[in-house]
Structure 1
Amino acid sequence: MRKVMTADDVLSILAVLRNADVDIWIGGGWGIDALVGERTRLHRDLDLMHREDQEPDVVAALADAGFVETLDWRPVRFVVTDPHDREIDLHPLVFAADGSAVQASPDAEHPFAYPASCFVTGTILGATVPCLSPEQQVYFHQGYEPADHDRHDMARLRETFGITSHF
């Protein structure tokens, strides 16, 4: 059975990456909980965006913390897992001079866009953490049939920020 990714796990992973002097942002369910300012559901993994040019340092820091690569779907994403089954889903971003970024997508003609304004902060256990904006979270929750946790996450964004989502 897969271990649940706790708030303490997230903060310890962020500390490892902060010590490696790399830039990361939390997306997915933990990113939404960071925006809301509290854990609203259980999470099985942690989604992190990172600068593609810092990827060797990200991978090395996580390897030193016991994480090994378990899935490689580069350039779109890759996954690392530690001996406790904590899983991190990593998404490489290529930044432009204006602070915006793109991430490769399965459709090479249509990469995922990250406007400069989507890189914000939230809180986990009272600690300020880098994450993606509510609007960016909604952007990533389009074009697929949502699972129950997706519906839950979008409801939290609607309740907290008055943001519109398509489900």
Structure 2
Amino acid sequence: MKFSLQNGKIKLKIEVLNEFNHYINVNKDELMFLLIELLKQNKTCVHFKDDMLNHQHSLSITDLMKEYVILHLNDETLTLKKLSSEVFYMNRDYLGKLFKKETGVNFTQYVLNERIKKAKKMLEKSKQIKIQKVAKCIGYGNNSYYFSKVFKKHTGFSPREYKSMLLSSESD
């Protein structure tokens, strides 16, 4: 991996050895696909070395599942079934049990937790943001009513109450 600075933004260049031992550039989606393929072949984890930081890393199927969730929180159809059939091409029950075993929480609960976490960050970052926009950005589409119910059940506050609480704590 190489980092460069262009127009004030950090650009990441990822190079991977192909089957002919030539380095090729890959984007994030291609890298995710390659890692999934490697994991499916090994059934455990992929080990790689970061020469820049001189670290060894291990990446499991669960790590990739979590990364996929973070990148696709806005997808209303984000389910274990979708991941198993369209991304990992692996048995849904196997992925679900593996995820629960390694994280201690089932996949659906993990997605919910991440969506609520992102919603809270969005509400904290922009006090003017509309609840409908938050709902859409975290995978609830145009159903802000359902998002509000889920948010309240998970946090004890409706999104509006949460925003009000943030505003009142800033004025203190």
Taking structure 2 as the reference length, the TM-score comes to 0.29
Q: Which has the higher strand share?
A: 1
Which structure's relative contact order is higher, taking Cα pairs within 8 Å and 6+ residues apart?
Answer: 1
Q: Which has the larger radius of gyration?
A: 2
